[in-house]
Amino acid sequence: VRYCPENLKDNDEFKAHITCAVFSEDGREVIGSYNDEDIYLFNTYDPEGSPHIHRYQGHGNRNGGMVSFYGPNSEYVISGSDSGNIFIWDKQTEGLAKVMPGDDNGGVYVLEAHPTLPVLATSGLDDEVKVWMPLQVTDGPGHCSQREKNEYMLKTVQRNLNDRETQRNSEPDPLDGQMLWVLGRHLRRAERRRREAAALAARGEEEAVSDADTSEEEEEE
């Protein structure tokens, strides 16, 4: 069975492809993230070619990060963003339930929700995996009012939409600065692992030589 949003079908100027797809907890729904950066929800019981049921917007997903359902009954849709934020939408209303910072050094591209508990693991361009869980809201140092949260949400969405429009109007560049940064990081990690493996091998050879010398000395005695 194949599904594609109506606005992406038979588009000569834009060739659509999926960057991520995930089924809901009961398998009745599937969400797909497309290269237009939006997330679309389809009913798996609908016949092939049926239009999407919901559409989720506001984030930036140019580099093809993961999307997922969240909640024991898949009540929410979640995604990372090129802006370094985590987006949580109400599945039915398509409204943003929460936007929160998830990465200090760039985008958030990997998310994994716990199947039964309200726990979420995320990873981005930094070297950390973060684990999130809801806490009771209390007043005190560092507490943000609902108005401040709404302002942050609106500013983030507007910035993402402006960035998306700027990117679409500019020359396409598949190897933009951020992607080059990611490739460079992976190359550096691979080189570090190679050096560590070589050091371990050299240490093993030295220990083998040392053991052989000790055995020879014992035989001489």
Per-residue pLDDT of 25-38, as tens digits, reads 899 999 998 878 88
Across-strand partners of 70? 76
Q: Cα–Cα distance between 46 and 160 in angstroms, integer? A: 32
Instruction: State both tokens at 192.
Output: 């570090």
Instruction: State both tokens at 14.
Output: 């834009």
Q: Per residue in 132-163, pLDDT tens?
A: 888 766 555 555 666 776 777 677 777 777 77
Across-strand partners of 74? none
- Using only C-alpha atoms, the chain has a radius of gyration, in whole angstroms, of 24
Residue found under tokens 């995320």? 122
Instruction: Give the H or E element holding residue 199.
Output: helix 177-220
Q: Over the chain, what is the mean pLDDT?
A: 78
DSSP letters spanning 68-89 = EEESTT--EEEE--TTSEEEEE
Is pLDDT of 194 > 70? yes
pTM of this prediction?
Answer: 0.65
